[in-house]
Chains A and B, each alone.
Chain A
Amino acid sequence: MYIFDIKRFAINDGPGIRVTLFMKGCPLRCVWCHNPEGLNPNRQKMYVKKKCIGCRSCVEACPRGGLVLTRDGIQSTGVECTLCGTCVEECPTLALEMAGKEYSLSELMNLVEKDRVVMETSGGGVTLCGGEPLMHPEALVEILEELGRRGLHRTVDTTLYASEATLEKVIPHADLFMVDLKHMDSDKHRKYTGVPNEPILRNIRLIAEKGIRYWIRIPLIEGVNADEANIIRCAEFLKELPTRPEIVNILPYHDIGIGKHKRLGSDYNPDELVMSTPSQEWQEHCVEIFKSYGLDSKIGG
């Protein structure tokens, strides 16, 4: 299992001030994905042309002669890259970076423990996110268990796209789930994320039945899921659950993913689906809908 980022002072990933671990690999392919380096479970080389000063350090470093400096920056010569990382190590400006690093459990704990005072003072903790953390149940449980032993609050930020058995394994080791709910219509869900929503809805219900604390987060995207019908269906679904979410966070869409896709050399929204940020009024309207169903809700999270 690779981790592609460790964010300290994470203030929007659950209660208090947190450390967030980003696990690499995701079964979903959301068109708006703003962490595309989290999609592929393997290591990946990323290149930011803006940072490149054309010094050719990487070209000279590559043992296979796989890189060339062109007018458009560094490109592959066509020789297959083995991800040996030599070019990344030599790049003076961090224009080339490797997404994905392996950590031992003790390395991770040492990093997390650095922020213990901040986490304790703020009522924060550690958030496991991705990608999709449930893609790596063994590693996830191992980390969560150890965090639990250390008395740190654990949040799992997830799509819940996983088998029931997997989720059952994780549930005893998490203090809070933050669950993305992207669309109530399974066909639309498949269109925009590549997978159907039945397993997700089933797993939300499972969490609700077990009485585990959970928050729902809805990326609100005009053109995808911001229509009133979908929001009402969300609210109806959540209202009927045996335990309701503590809050429904409305996260207005931003095309943040564009720059990151560029770094990976992948395309953002290749089919050019129409997506935009809903107006402030509409965001507030959606919050009001949830509230009218007795669900606490707010913009942002």
Chain B
Amino acid sequence: MEEIKTAHRAANSKMNFALLYPENDGGMNDRIKRLRKQSVETPTTLTIERALIETAFYKENYGKYPNAVLRAMNFLEICKKKTIYIGDDELIVAERGPKPKAVPTFPELTCHTVEDLHTLNTRELQPYLISQEDIDTYEREVIPYWEGRTQRERIFNHVSEEWREAYHAGVFTEFMEQRAAGHTTMDGKLYVRGLLDVKKLIQEQLDKLDFINDPEATDKQEELRAMDISCDAAIIFAERHAELAEKMAAEETNPQRKAELEKIADVCRWVPAHAPRDLHEAIQMYWFVHLGTVTELNGWDSMNPGHIDQHLWPFYQKGIADGTLTREKAKELLSCLWIKFNNQPAPPKVGITALESGTYNDFTNINIGGVTRDGKDGSNELSFIILEIQEELHELQPGLSIHVAEVTPDEFVKAGCRVIRQGHGYPSVFNPDCYVQELVNQGKSLEDAREGGCSGCIEVGAFGKEAYVLTGYLNTPKILEITLNNGWDPNSGKKLGLETGDPRTFTSYEQLYEAYHKQMLHFVNLKLSVNNYIERMFALYAPATFLSLFIDDCITKGKDYYNGGARYNTTYIQCTGLGTTTDCFATIKKHVFEDKRYTMDELLTAVAANFEGHEKMRQYIMNRTPFFGNDDEYADTIAVKVYEDLVKAIKGHPNTRGGETQLNMLSTTCHNYFGSVCHATPNGRLAHFAISDGTSPAHGADTNGPTSVIKSLGKLDQTQSGGTLLNMRFIPALLKREEDLDKLVSLIRAYFKMGGHHVQFNIVDTQTLLDAQKKPEDYKDLLVRVAGYSDYFNDMTEQLQNEIIARTENEEF
């Protein structure tokens, strides 16, 4: 998920425009309003319950069972013992913690120190509250046991000094040092088979095991037994909720609520043991599966229902047809699910690495629209209901994306754009015609690819059939910086890379590029060399035996999700800073090697001085260099080369799960962290400022308008990656009228025709405009609608800017 300024607006902030359905006119009903209020206002807390249950279990049982069985029994123990919760008004029930927004820890992956817990409790931004008593208990019961036994320690004890130094210098990050691999997204099978059916499938596989001729039969047996235990665990977890609901119903005096509680009890008795029969059961089924997955382990970008509009469509149709469901009731049930997503903040990180990712939510990204398995339009009435819910609830979670293929009707895209213009940063927009090709290029069947989509940020996979593991970000501007310093890192003062030569002695641009290329391969290989080790540690110590129930073909293979059980197995490295790196190359190529305006020494001296005393040079570079994002062949050719060389370096190495490595181009908020470890760069960027995000142009580099940006991006063969990211920014007034929305739809369609993978829009608010006045050079691309025409904010008189700011503010009321 890209950092979007407006996405972090408080949930009670104003919309840019009036809602389609204002108060109680098809909008949130009173129940949903109360539940939403509770979800938004409840402070995030840390719960030590899971850690206590798990630690006690490990103390007693570690070493007695194969790890897969141990993990499943641990999950069963948690499902049996954790505090369960059914809140007032709730229709969809169950929480990961003992109450809403109580976040468990996962000491088997990474164990928070006492200091970490204090920091989390007191920090100003996004605190996780925890009592002193709990901290004392944690210190006494949890921390001592896990010392030396966590995944994080296994990883850091293994890596070379070279890897460690590159990691600490910010050349790359490592995703799995604190969390498990995630990006798990469901297909539709959980709605057609209950866990009792799954247990039968497991038994069939157990019966088929050939201990004489299959050397892996024993391992498979343990994994299948563990999967079977995991089924029981989830069924027990649901039954405990049924019992609680029955008990609450017996005590309930309000007849309406009593009936609701009885229905909840019925639902929890039925799912997840059996396949759901109606919409209510289907939603609750998903929620139990979701919670099981995020309770078992703490996967990155947690868990995602995938194409929920397509999955739930048969239940909706059936309910409407037989009169047991209305549109309003369906919307209420889905809204209850939306609130459940928001009730689950992500478990917090430990130590200083929190810097790597400023935002910290669980990145559930719900996919709507798109295509069906047979390539038809996947949007339906539920897609529209979900857009309404997203607009009205506008919570931090879940995220939403609309999937716009050629076959997707304009009406749906426009409805999505109507939500986009509210300025909360969602829905983001994806192009199935592009990503289906990406997935097919990676070896997936066409049908499985069509059933795929995006999880988390912009990364795509075959839903319900793939384990795609993101392993960390690669800081490409940093690699260029190290190249320009002959292998040394000016920030840490350490030698991190290869000695590729003093660039002052280079006689051609090609020589410089070659040096960078060597350096890039060096760091990519350094990163790859550890990835496979980490994969094995997860296969050995942290198998996900519950998640494996829902990912084909774990059961038929008798293998875990982390051990090659999935039909498709991909390992990603995420590359950031394409815009910044390209602009640096363009600067050097043009001004040093071609125009010879500056010598390499002059340029590098100015860069080393953070351009202090060299403002004239900096301005000249920033204004007189063809930068990426302007549909300029000079820069775009460089970008294509940088991108394709990253693809070649990363793509196609075997991982330990029978799959291959791939790259994608996302940055989350890592471009801020990566910028903070980079000194000034030749493109005029000052020290420690953010580098460019995803595949977006660098800040202020694109001065030719949005059509030029999409043209530049369109030159990358995006199907060679597992995703690219483009951020665009508009002010609300630009999207005021119906025909403006049509134009936004056209812009999206045009970019996707050019082969774009993803785009998201930032509909900026007043604060951004004020920032733009203070720092115009960061906002060169800010296009605002003035009167009968549009202009760049930067190009206006202060007076007019002020007038527009005032106008925008008015529009917020």
Contacts and interface: CB of A to CB of B under 8 A. Distances in A.
Given A8-B707, A9-B783, A12-B790, A92 B616 contact: yes
Interface stretch (B134-142, B434-442, B528-536, B618-626): B618-626
Interface in A278-301: 300-301
A19 B631 CA distance: 14
A13 B789 contact: yes
Contacts of B800: 254-256, 258-259
A251 B786 CA distance: 10
Interface string A107-126: 00000001101100111100
A94 B623 contact: yes
A53 B616 contact: yes
Contact of B743 (A17, A258, A300, A301): A17
Interface in A212-256: 217, 249, 251-256
Contacts of A17: 707, 743, 746-747, 750
A259 B624 contact: no
Given A16-B746, A117-B750, A256-B796, A300 B623 contact: no
B754 interface: yes
Contacts of A55: 615-616, 619
B705 A252 contact: no
Interface centre among A118, A123, A254 (most CB of B within 10 A): A118
Interface centre among A217, A249, A256, A301 (most CB of B within 10 A): A256
Interface in A1-31: 7-13, 16-17
A53 B615 contact: yes
Nearest to A250: B788
B589 interface: no
Contacts of A217: 788
Contacts of B324: none
Given A256-B800, A259-B796, A92 B789 contact: no
A93 interface: yes
A122 B742 CA distance: 8
Contact of B746 (A118, A254, A262): A118
A93 B753 CA distance: 36
A57 B597 CA distance: 13
Nearest to A120: B750
Interface residues of B, number: 40
Interface string B732-767: 001001001011001101100110000000000000
B754 A117 contact: yes
Main secondary structure of the interface of A (DSSP, over half): loop
B655 interface: no
Contact of B786 (A93, A117, A254): A254
Interface centre among B631, B707, B803 (most CB of A within 10 A): B707
Contacts of B803: 254
B620 to A, nearest CB: 4
B707 A115 contact: yes
Contacts of A93: 619, 623
Given A16-B743, A122-B746, A254 B787 contact: yes
B799 A258 contact: yes
A11 B791 CA distance: 10
Interface string B134-167: 0000000000000000000000000000000000
Nearest to B740: A11
Contacts of B705: 7-9
Contacts of A11: 734, 740, 743, 790
Interface string B768-797: 000000000000000101111111000111
Interface string A165-207: 0000000000000000000000000000000000000000000
Interface string B600-619: 00000000000000011101
B616 A121 contact: no
A258 B789 contact: no
Contacts of B787: 251-254, 256, 300
Nearest to A90: B620
B353 interface: no
A182 to B, nearest CB: 14
7 contacts: A8-B708, A10-B790, A13-B789, A93-B623, A115-B707, A117-B753, A256-B791
Interface of B: 615-617, 619-620, 623-624, 631, 704-708, 710-711, 734, 737, 740, 742-743, 746-747, 749-750, 753-754, 783, 785-791, 795-797, 799-800, 803
Q: Which 9 A-B pairs have the closest CB atoms?
A: A122-B746, A92-B620, A259-B797, A92-B619, A251-B788, A9-B705, A121-B750, A118-B750, A55-B616
